[in-house]
Amino acid sequence: MTRQQLDFIHRFIPAPAGSNATTLLLLHGTGGDEHDLLDLGRILDPQAALLSPRGQVLEQGMPRFFRRVAPGVFDLEDLRQRTHELADFVTAAARTYAFDSQGVIAAGYSNGANIVAATLLLRPEVFKAALLFHPMVPLVPEELPDLAGVPVFVGGGRLDTVIPPQQTGRLAQMLQLAGADVTLHWEPGGHALTPAEVQAAVAWLQRVRDWE
């Protein structure tokens, strides 16, 4: 492996002894870091290993996973590059920490959810399932990938002023067209991640595990 592939500042917490083979990849929102979603990860799956990188792009001192030109307007060249770098990081981390690269479930919030969505669209082999909290369409690929049967949870807020609800719905439709098994969950509020949304995600993830 190259140093660049593990160049993300990150936290890795191994799964408890004798637990399942799932690794949760946790991707924070703008201004977060590698610690932000660790508690969420433990709520989502107490038995999973946790891998949480920090975004490498700084916007006014706030970490992000890719550049944007303006709110809601992304630097698509940078997004594609950063998406491939993140995918390579996950593969390298699986070798370094000896977890199953075929058992990675991504959970991202806002900016983190957007790069998870981009990874599903550009590197669909990386995740066996994904939870996208308050995402939007990050890019439109020239050709949709084959996501047949990939479980995806999409959570959004009806009154979200950061991520327009129609963008969240459009992403869900795009993933469905690619074959993903999409569950779209709406909360009545805005951009904040609510306890009700988290509990809906926990119940969804448990159903996904029961289907395995």
Q: What is the structure's pLDDT at 5? A: 61
Alpha-carbon gap, residue 62 to 154, rounded angstroms? 25
- Residue pair 180/150 in contact (Cβ under 8 Å)? The answer is yes
Burial zone of 58 (CB within 10 Å; 0-12 exposed, 13-18 middle, 19+ buried)? exposed
Residues whose CB falls within 8 Å of the CB of residue 98, separated by 6 or more in sequence, listed in order? none
What is the model's pTM?
0.95
Q: What is the pLDDT of residue 17?
A: 80
Residue-level pLDDT at 2 = 42
The domain limits of the chain are 3-211
28, 36, 110, 134: the catalytic one is 110
Catalytic residue among 84, 160, 185, 210: 160
**3-class state of residue 115 by DSSP:** helix
Structural contact between residues 124 and 90, judged by C-beta atoms closer than 8 angstroms? no
Second-level CATH architecture of 3-211: 3-Layer(aba) Sandwich (3.40)
Burial of 82 (0-12, 13-18, 19+ CB in 10 A): buried
| CA–CA distance, 5 with 88 (Å, rounded to integer) | 6
pLDDT along the chain (212 residues), means of 10: 68 86 95 97 96 96 94 93 96 94 96 98 97 97 95 98 96 98 97 97 92 72
**For 20, what's the count of Cα atoms within 13 Å in the CB-facing half-sphere?**
16
Q: Is 160 a catalytic residue?
A: yes
Beta carbons within 10 angstroms of residue 127's beta carbon? 24
